[in-house]
């Protein structure tokens, strides 16, 4: 719901430029929605004090980030393979399934049984309706993580207003110059690495919580055993 609310706010503010100005890239559209998700997630996590509940929230958020980055990159690789192979002639449904299974095997690794995963490609409508749309989730996830780091640092004055301006102008302004207003250089490789830092922080908090929960469970079990 938060994700779609982000899209709604973006649509609303970008009406300033009329119908033509409303045309924006998929990556910009997903930045609005994923940033909204990030804000709500951070507020939920801040309000939660129970370590088991924090664990569940964090685990869910990390899984979503994995789905937005690694999974979408796997989808992108499948799409790329399919388009390249299509230049040599018609590609059968069976061949599409083979290609999809090979990228999913690669993404999930040997510990996951991927039997039947090949049929999922038929249900992802982005492949058929919006070429390469899948990549925008990964792009936007990294942009949002970096933007969120800037927001937390408090180094950019009037962050919220600037964010709304970026969304308003997204149909008429270049993405790199829009991000430059936040001190972000989207052409630098470190920008993309910075985007993954949030991922790393959440993962280490999850590991600390897990160790704490395991320790307390063990102490409780020991207490029961001694009674
Ligand atoms: Zn979306």
Residues, Cβ < 5 Å to ion ligand 1: 33
Q: What is the pTM of this model?
A: 0.79
DSSP letters for 125-157: THHHHSTTTHHHHHHHHHHHHHHHHHHHHT-ST
For residue range 70-116, what is the model confidence (pLDDT) as tens digits? 999 999 999 999 999 999 999 999 999 999 999 999 999 999 999 99
For residue range 22-52, what is the model confidence (pLDDT) as tens digits? 777 777 888 889 899 999 999 999 999 998 9
Please tell me the distance between residue 36's alpha carbon and the centre of ligand 1 in angstroms: 11
CATH superfamily placement of domain 2-226: Oligoendopeptidase f, C-terminal domain (1.10.1370.20)
Q: Alpha-carbon distance 227 to 220, whole Å?
A: 11
Please tell me the distance between residue 52's alpha carbon and the centre of ligand 1 in angstroms: 29
Buried b (16+ CB within 10 A) or exposed e, 44-55: eeeeeeeeeebb
Please tell me the distance between residue 137's alpha carbon and the centre of ligand 1 in angstroms: 8
Would you place residue 57 in the very low, low, confident or very high pLDDT band (cuts 50, 70, 90)?
A: very high
Please tell me the distance between residue 175's alpha carbon and the centre of ligand 1 in angstroms: 18
Quote the mean pLDDT of the chain: 89
Would you place residue 60 in the very low, low, confident or very high pLDDT band (cuts 50, 70, 90)?
A: very high
Domain-wise residue ranges, the chain: 2-226
Up-side HSE of residue 168: CA atoms within 13 Å toward CB? 9
Would you place residue 172 in the very low, low, confident or very high pLDDT band (cuts 50, 70, 90)?
A: confident
Query: How confident is the model over 14-29, as a mean pLDDT?
Result: 80
Please tell me the distance between residue 28's alpha carbon and the centre of ligand 1 in angstroms: 10
Angle in degrees, CA 79, 110, 122, rounded to 5 = 30
Question: Whose CA is closest to 78, among 122, 15, 19, 112?
Answer: 122
Q: How many CB atoms lie within 10 A of CB 150?
A: 18
Please tell me the distance between residue 34's alpha carbon and the centre of ligand 1 in angstroms: 7
Question: Whose CA is closest to 157, among 186, 127, 129, 182?
Answer: 182
């Amino acid at each position: 719901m938060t994700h779609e609310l982000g899209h709604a706010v973006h649509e609303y503010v970008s009406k300033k430029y009329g119908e033509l100005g409303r045309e924006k890239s998929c990556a910009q559209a997903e930045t609005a929605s994923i940033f909204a998700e990030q804000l709500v997630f951070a507020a939920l996590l801040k309000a939660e004090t129970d370590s088991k509940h924090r664990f569940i929230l964090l685990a869910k958020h990390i899984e979503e980030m994995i789905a937005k980055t690694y999974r979408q990159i796997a989808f992108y690789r499948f799409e790329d393979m399919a388009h390249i192979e299509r230049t040599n002639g018609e590609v059968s449904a069976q061949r599409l399934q083979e290609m999809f299974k090979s990228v999913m095997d690669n993404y999930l690794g040997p510990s996951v049984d991927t039997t039947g995963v090949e049929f999922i490609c038929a249900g992802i409508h982005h492949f058929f309706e919006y070429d390469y749309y899948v990549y925008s989730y990964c792009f936007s996830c990294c942009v949002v993580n970096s933007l969120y780091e800037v927001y937390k640092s408090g180094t950019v004055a009037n962050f919220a207003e600037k964010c709304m301006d970026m969304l308003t102008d997204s149909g008429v302004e270049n993405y790199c110059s829009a991000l430059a207003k936040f001190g972000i250089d989207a052409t630098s490789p470190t920008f993309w690495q910075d985007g993954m830092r949030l991922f790393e922080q959440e993962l280490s908090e999850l590991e600390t919580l897990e160790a704490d929960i395991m320790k307390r469970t063990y102490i409780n079990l020991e207490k029961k055993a001694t009674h």
